[in-house]
Amino acid sequence: MDSLRKIIIVDSPFDPLQLQSEYQTESMRGQTNYGATANFVGTMRDFNEGDDVQSMTLEHYPAMTEKQLNLIVDEATEKWPLQNTLIVHRVGEIFPAESIVLVAVWSAHRGAAFDACRFIMEDLKHKAPFWKKEALTTGADRWVEENTKGY
Amino acid sequence: MDSLRKIIIVDSPFDPLQLQSEYQTESMRGQTNYGATANFVGTMRDFNEGDDVQSMTLEHYPAMTEKQLNLIVDEATEKWPLQNTLIVHRVGEIFPAESIVLVAVWSAHRGAAFDACRFIMEDLKHKAPFWKKEALTTGADRWVEENTKGY
Amino acid sequence: MSIKVLYFASLREEIGRGADVIDFPPEETSSSLSVEQLWINSTGQQSFPDNLLVAVNQEYTNPQALLADGDEVAFFPPVTGG
Amino acid sequence: MSIKVLYFASLREEIGRGADVIDFPPEETSSSLSVEQLWINSTGQQSFPDNLLVAVNQEYTNPQALLADGDEVAFFPPVTGG
């Protein structure tokens, strides 16, 4: 099944629901065949591993990032009948309560939408070339060494 | 854990992402302790069980609906550490591409947000007192007899 | 004892009405009235259908549950929201 | 043969630079150059760390993969996006 997707890397604050809404308007206007949309928004917290975090810097590998995210969407599309996928990921310096990532998936049925959204999110966390460096309120910097478990 | 929730039954078209955005602004402004938001939007399709559907009427049992949805959120809150939950459900006459339902869940971690959003959605489909009657393009009416599988 | 009975969706259409108020003389319910007895009494049907759902005072229950004066009992088919 | 090497995140900071361009004289790579050999050559380290990730031309591969002239090889720690 041919699946549409849009992958956006942004280096300034973004409104995930606004972008999802715009994408739906521009890409699915007049479409009445999707019944299920599942999304996930990751937001920067002000704590991690017991410490207060003041800001974070998200580094990535630009040439690889979109390529890898496209591979992940390809794989999801092979597993589930998806109609559209939108991925937005922030890079650069970011502050608590700002959005880090949006994954939104459109499908005819809810099972596929839920499964695919979660699959893409987990794969993104484990394969997409992004790295977080936290600036603690103590003044110290540290690289996040691994992601928390998603299941 | 005390969990905030908002449950809305609407009888005219609603914009699920707009409502989610507004709820987040009014209820979580300045909060920086949630890292994960998972949502699900159910949209009316123009087909079901092989037939073209022109419109649908959603009946419900007003006195029970909110009570039951609150019980479902209570149960989710016992299972997972949730910070906020928003449920919006449409009733009355509805047309293809209009939103039927929104379930949005905020938590510190993505596993809980994904699990709880799906749990609430499935429980809503199996326990909340809503019924769909489809008006087919052939002019015939029929009650939807059961929901499709969610897993 | 007086019971308010509600019917929803396809059941409402089959039965031809959305609500009944049923008053039982005290001698008929001296011991107890179950949901199933109410169903038979209010609809004239012989038994409680397998896939029929019932809520008493807006909470799910089963056909063997006993009723009290003033209860609101709702009968309905499997739900299909969401 | 010329290879572009990139380092990211904590690895970039440890190594003290983000990129190398390494030119191998033809006689040194007459047979084949593996990712692991490149790593040892470019960083001076003894072996390929267990949790080190590598991508050749922006796709994940393993330390035994063989390189070709013009490849872009990226070394980086476990990813932590999302």
Give the tens place of pLDDT for each residue, A89-99: 999 999 999 99
A145 in reach of chain D (CB within 8 A)? yes
**pLDDT score of A28:** 87
The residue that leads in pLDDT, A58 or C26, is A58
**pLDDT score of C26:** 77
Residue C11: which residues within 8 A CB-CB, separation 6 or more? C52, C75, C76, C77
Average pLDDT of chain B is 94
**pLDDT score of D29:** 59
What are the pLDDT digits (tens) for A121-151?
999 999 999 999 999 999 999 999 987 777 7
The residue behind tokens 């939108």 is A86
Contacts of B37 in chain A (CB under 8 A): 40-41, 43
Banded pLDDT at A1 (limits 50, 70, 90):
very low
A45 in reach of chain D (CB within 8 A)? no
Neighbouring CB atoms inside 10 A of D21's CB total 9
Q: Closest Cα to residue A42, out of A114, A107, A112, A99?
A: A99
Q: Is A77 helix (H, G, I), strand (E, B) or coil?
A: helix
pLDDT at C47 over 50: yes
Residue B91 to residue B58: CA distance in whole angstroms? 5
Q: Which of A61, A63, A147 sits opposite D80 (nearest CB)?
A: A147
**pLDDT score of A2:** 55
Which of B55, B98, B118, B149 should one mutate to test binding to chain A, selecting the residue with the greatest count of A CBs within 10 A?
B118
ipTM of the complex: 0.92
Distance from the Cα of B117 to chain A's closest Cα (Å) equals 9
Distance from the Cα of D59 to chain A's closest Cα (Å) equals 7
Banded pLDDT at C28 (limits 50, 70, 90):
low
Residue A119 to residue A142: CA distance in whole angstroms? 28
DSSP-derived letter for residue D66 is B
Q: Are B14 and B42 in contact (CB under 8 A)?
A: no
What are the pLDDT digits (tens) for A33-42?
789 999 999 9
What are the pLDDT digits (tens) for D12-66?
999 999 999 999 887 765 668 999 999 999 999 999 999 999 999 999 999 999 9
Q: Are B66 and A70 in contact (CB under 8 A)?
A: no
Residue A66: which residues within 8 A CB-CB, separation 6 or more? A7, A9
Distance from the Cα of B147 to chain C's closest Cα (Å) equals 5
The model carries a pTM of 0.94
Q: Are A120 and D82 in contact (CB under 8 A)?
A: no
**pLDDT score of C81:** 96
Q: Closest Cα to residue C1, out of C78, C73, C80, C71?
A: C71
Q: Parallel, antiparallel, or unpaired: how do β-strands D2-7 and D19-23 relate? A: antiparallel
Over range B57-78, report the average pLDDT: 97
Banded pLDDT at A32 (limits 50, 70, 90):
confident
**pLDDT score of B48:** 87
Q: Is there contact between D and C if contact means ≥3 C-beta pairs under 8 Å? A: no
Residue D78 to residue D60: CA distance in whole angstroms? 12
What are the pLDDT digits (tens) for B32-62?
778 999 999 999 998 888 899 999 999 999 9
